A and B are shown apart, each in its own frame.
Chain A
Amino acid sequence: MIDPGDATPPPDSEVICRDCGTTHAASGVCPRCALAFILAADSAATAGDAPRDTSAGPPPASPDFEHYRIELRADGTAVELGRGGMGVTYLAIDRRLRIPVALKVISPDRTSDPEAQDLFLREARAAATVRHPNVASVLFLNDSPTRLFFAMEFVAGEPLHHWIRVHGALPVRVALDVAEQTARGLAAIHAEGIIHRDLKPGNVMLVPNRASGTTLAGVIAADSEWQVKIIDFGLARHILRADDLAQTIGFRGTVLYASPEQCEERRDLDGRSDLYSLGCILWEMLSGRPPFRGPAKRDVLNQHVTERLPFAELAHVPRAVVSLVSRLLQKDRQKRFPDATALAVALARLRTELPADTSHWKKVPANATPPTAPESARLWQRLLVVAVCVLLLGGGGYYLLSSRTPGGALPARLEPTGVAVLPFATNGLPPEDIWLAQGLHSELLDTLSRVPNLKVISRDSLAEEKPGTGSDARALAAKFGVAKIVEGSVRKEGSRVLVNLRIVSPRSGEILAAPGFDRAANEIAGLPSEMAIALADALNPGTPRTPDSPLTNPPTRDAAAYTHLLRARALIANPVEARRDLDEAAKQLEQAITLDPNYAAAHAQLSSLHSYFYLWGRDRTDQRLELALQSAEAAGRLAPDAPETQMAFGHFYYRGRRDYERALPYYRRALAAAPGNADALAYIGYIERRQGKWGGAAEKLERASEANPLDPILFYNVANTRLCMHEYERAWQILQAALAHHPTHVALMKLKGDLFLVWKGDLSEMRKDIETRSPHAPYAEAYVFDKVELFLFERRFDDALSVLNEGKFGLIDGQARYITRDMLEAEILTQARRAPEARAAWARALPRLAEAAAARPTDPRIRLAHALALAGTGEAARALAEAQAGVQLAPPEKDAQDAPWFLYAQACVQLRAGQPDAAAQTVRRLEEMPSPFSAHTFRLSPAFAALRP
């Protein structure tokens, strides 16, 4: 009945359209261009029959437009500032006033199109009605139909999108400033009854604020470092002109910043649509990326209309700011700010409520030098140079800046066996089924890690990638250093689960293979293995694969059990900061085991989770450890050789028993079974570090970071290892790379402060960290502790006490330190030399610590805490003995990583128990061994003031 050759014969050959790059049949016209033409001509359907020339013409024959002259390069080509649907913008010189201008000339192919002329004139007139410092002014319009052009104020700055692309997110305060100025500009535009409709970072220019003068002090003192200018009114229209031609052409504007009502092509747009766009811009300024992204325009349109905002991306942003952004991005415009003025006022108020110092450009690009001068000053100087160049040389400067954009550049060498499997798109799944995509993704990564000769970017480095992104394979490849990108999507259709994968070559953008999978929902257990095999074959076609390859062990025969495992994996896959549902993950795993008691992978996962709970103080009880052991043993009985089982045992001994010797062979076996398991390699590194093999540890951690290049925790450990080895330059290099990816990560910022202290005795980075850090959960206690620590170094003892009294602090139950609130208060008073109060505070702290030490005599952290309290209450002999006992439990030979902390505490005890010589000896020992301390630490800390001459 259907003859494939019947109606439309298949195309014999294909060509790539020169205009848009679409591949189409050689015998026909490019469908995309043809439809674009239909759309463009749509509004002209009722126009007269006069032939119109829609072909593109040559560039301007003459550079002279009235008294403006377009700037030409040496080769005679014009200096273009921008190009849009209606016209081209050139850099030109006003020969009368002798100033540079931006000259927008209607496209040659539009000169005989009355509608285009109308739109062009409207843009110029709309822009000309607005006079505001934050809006680029129109200076002149020539409305002769044969030579339509207008001159605009030349904005010698940098477009916001360019700045974000090169430097990433802006500091909160600066972002608010830019948003506020943009809002003021919008208010002026709206006041003229005009809506912009195409507000995007590319249309927001940042101009260095000349009013602040040319000195460094002037820049820093100025209220705003930037002047914002809104440019490009190409889509602007009057709010009330319902017959407006510009709106009949359908969706316009930039989809990433389009309001839901624009996406729905509503005709009654008003200024609140621009406010939504500004919300998207603010989001991008804060996070480095717009809120909604996707491979296809349609995806993004849908997201604007229906999707929830990915607030996790703003986790580092103060809550009040997030709340404002969220109001701007309401789908229902009634719930947004009523107008741009109200928004500007709210932004201004919010900005004054933030700590004053957050205006510094503290983000460090990967190749930056140590922060000798504020970034803002350097940037400002750079922009000033650009502006001056443009003014003096009459052009080229702007483009010079733009063309240096590293945007699509790829490093010369990408790891040929490297592949980044992006989180799966979930557009095809209802919200309650998102776990399916996350769980399958996690399982796939684990399975792929077993493939030899494949470097798979591990999950922790993908945490920031939004599901379904992949439109910019080049950028991703450059970011991860891999030669292949895999995108995937999971959808559910009725009772079936459909997974589509695409292997993309970042160099050519070509889809190399697109395996797809279609399974009944109760038959997905083997899916990760099948996906892994398909990918492995496609990525590495030469690799022979036998049927009993280790990739293909079926996890469970019980479909429901597998569902529970996937749900748990989805919960565990969240980035560390977002792991709040681990209890739920444990429950899911327990349910999986109830359904299939022989489910080895579920036992292994559960065991690892139990030891995780134990290590991070969530439940540091023997019962928890026992659960971890039982689960690991169950996995061991069922699948003794599986890498998950080996990891479970490794974690039990490492996290739980602190028995590093016994943990090591398990991690080694896990790595042998899954050569791509970056976690196993990292843990081997951690163990070597504890064994005092610092060099080997550093090498392994750095190797692990090749497969896990963006994991902030791994970054932290790599850098901290070098810091402890007193290789400060190397540590700083690594830390800069880490901060370039995670500019506001709490642990990395803290490490930066620590590094500059031990390296240079410089407290300024520590200060900056504290001043810009959020005091809220989940790091509220660490915030109080770190702030107290800083104030102690600064000898601001009263301030330290206030912080402790005002902030939320109960207990630091860390790997190397156990500090109760009473202890911390007593320590401040001791260092402040307020002896009677200190003694009383230590006396308050003592009973609880004595009790803890009796209950857990093998815990060196608690024994040393107890020793400090004994010393503080004057029991010198007992204190010295207790400290010695604590250090003996974990001497440097046994735990090279934590031992320095115990020795540090012992030195304090020795000093306070009247043995300064012993203390001095301990301090010298600490200075000489790998440790997180240096001579600067002991010089600056009031605790050791007595040791100084």
Chain B
Amino acid sequence: MPDSNTTNGHAFVTTHWSVIEAAADPHAPAAQEALAELCRVYWRPIYAYLRLLSRARQDAEDITQDFFCVLLRREAFARVTPSAGRFRSYLLASLKNYLNDHDAKARALKRGGAMEIIPLAELRTEETLAVGRRTAGDADLQFDRRWAELVVERATQGLRAEYARRGEVALLEALLPLLTPGGSETGYEPLARTLNMSAASLRVRAFRLRQRFRELVVAQVRQTVSQPADVAAEVRHLFTALAAA
């Protein structure tokens, strides 16, 4: 599933694309702010990518910062052709563009020679955040994995916020495992007893939870693709990235 199918001529009418387009307008400070918000959301895949290219932690953080700086000054976006209508691909392409165009910066970071090797201990602690434990695959794949994790994480955060508003945080934590097949292998009855509800009403709650979770994931992904029809393919792509361990 190459991401290189160009969709020239498509109007990117929605979502993050409109933010990017609007941000390109120097007279739209609100869009600028929206873009900054996007950067705050999506720094981790970028960081993971840079981290896997063996930048030392501090370097990766510096470059991440600098990349988003450049991004906000609209220097990196300008020369990237939106590809496949996916914000994810677009952001990664922008990053690569940035890295290519900033040899001086990269060279500055290269000082340190053998220091670029990721020490084992560091891998084990910090990379759980940045790179993920199962690091088979290349940096692009890491980027996609981290992205996928982020999408699920944000959907889960959305659930937490909603349940918190209803004062059902404890219920949510009990129900969360039901989002995956393994969580429910013991069956509903024991859990229903713990929660002091009937198995039938637990089923209904679980069903609603899954529905809502799905909606939140789809909404997340919807923000990053140009066409609603691309959502399923993007979810599949993200799943493939995670499954490629």
- Residues of A at the B interface (CB closer than 8 Å) are 1-4, 6-8, 10-11, 14, 17-25, 28-39, 41-42, 45, 51-58, 109, 248, 250-251, 263-265, 295-299, 301-302, 305-306, 425, 427-428, 470-471, 487, 489, 491, 493-496, 498, 500, 502, 504, 511-520, 530, 533-534, 537-538
Contact = CB atoms under 8 A, between A and B. Distances in A.
Q: Decide if the interface of chain A is mainly helix, strand, loop or mixed.
A: mixed
A21 B245 contact: yes
A29 B185 contact: no
B152 A31 contact: yes
Contact of B100 (A33, A45, A495, A516): A495
Interface in B82-111: 96, 99-100, 103, 106-107, 110
Query: Which of A1, A14, A301 has the most CB atoms of chain B within a 10 A radius of its CB?
Result: A1
Contacts of A41: 210, 214
B16 interface: no
Closest 3 CB pairs of A and B: A516-B54, A55-B184, A296-B244
Contacts of B193: none
B118 interface: yes
Interface of B: 1-2, 36, 39-41, 43-44, 47, 52-54, 61, 64-65, 68-69, 72, 96, 99-100, 103, 106-107, 110, 113-114, 116-120, 123, 128-129, 131-139, 141, 148-157, 176-185, 187-188, 203-204, 206-207, 210, 213-214, 217-218, 232-233, 235-236, 238-245
A477 to B, nearest CB: 15
Contacts of B103: 495-496, 520
B203 A53 contact: yes
A538 B69 CA distance: 35
B133 A23 contact: yes
Given A8-B154, A306-B2, A487-B136, 18 more contacts: A8-B44, A17-B180, A21-B134, A29-B177, A31-B153, A32-B148, A34-B179, A38-B217, A53-B203, A264-B1, A296-B137, A302-B1, A493-B96, A494-B96, A494-B100, A500-B138, A515-B117, A538-B117
10 contacts: A20-B243, A36-B243, A38-B218, A53-B188, A297-B244, A301-B240, A305-B2, A493-B100, A512-B120, A533-B114
Contacts of B1: 251, 263-265, 298, 301-302
B150 A29 contact: no
Nearest to A56: B185
Contacts of A298: 1, 141, 240-241, 244
Residue of B36, B53, B54 most packed against chain A (CB within 10 A): B54
Contact of A511 (B123, B128, B152): B123
A35 B152 contact: yes
Contacts of B154: 8
Contacts of B150: 8
A473 to B, nearest CB: 9
Contact of B180 (A19, A45, A297, A487): A19
Nearest to A515: B117
A515 B152 CA distance: 29
A924 to B, nearest CB: 63
Contacts of A500: 52-54, 138-139
B43 A2 contact: yes
Given A1-B69, A19-B180, A22-B134, A35 B123 contact: no
Contact of B134 (A23, A42, A493): A23
B25 to A, nearest CB: 20
Contacts of B235: 35, 38-39, 42
Contact of B243 (A34, A250, A297, A493): A297
A533 to B, nearest CB: 6
A56 B69 CA distance: 48
B110 A518 contact: yes
Contacts of A38: 214, 217-218, 235, 239
A7 B179 CA distance: 23
A545 to B, nearest CB: 9
A846 B118 CA distance: 70
Given A23-B128, A534-B117, A2 B184 contact: no
A38 B219 CA distance: 12
A502 B133 contact: no
Contacts of A495: 100, 103
A54 B128 CA distance: 30
Nearest to B109: A518
B239 A36 contact: yes
Contacts of B41: 7-8
Contact of B152 (A28, A45, A470): A28
A302 B116 CA distance: 30
B128 A428 contact: no
Nearest to B99: A493
Contact of B176 (A6, A29, A31): A29
Contacts of B99: 493-494, 496
Nearest to B134: A23
A538 B155 CA distance: 39
A4 B242 contact: no
B69 A31 contact: no
Contacts of B182: 17-19, 30, 33
Nearest to B152: A31
B44 A14 contact: no
Contacts of B114: 530, 533-534, 537
B135 A25 contact: no
A331 B190 CA distance: 53
Contacts of A17: 180, 182
Contacts of B2: 302, 305-306
A37 B210 contact: yes
B39 A8 contact: no
Contacts of B96: 493-494
A498 B52 CA distance: 11
A60 to B, nearest CB: 15
A29 B136 contact: no
A39 B22 CA distance: 33
B99 to A, nearest CB: 7
B136 to A, nearest CB: 5
Contacts of B64: 2
B209 to A, nearest CB: 11
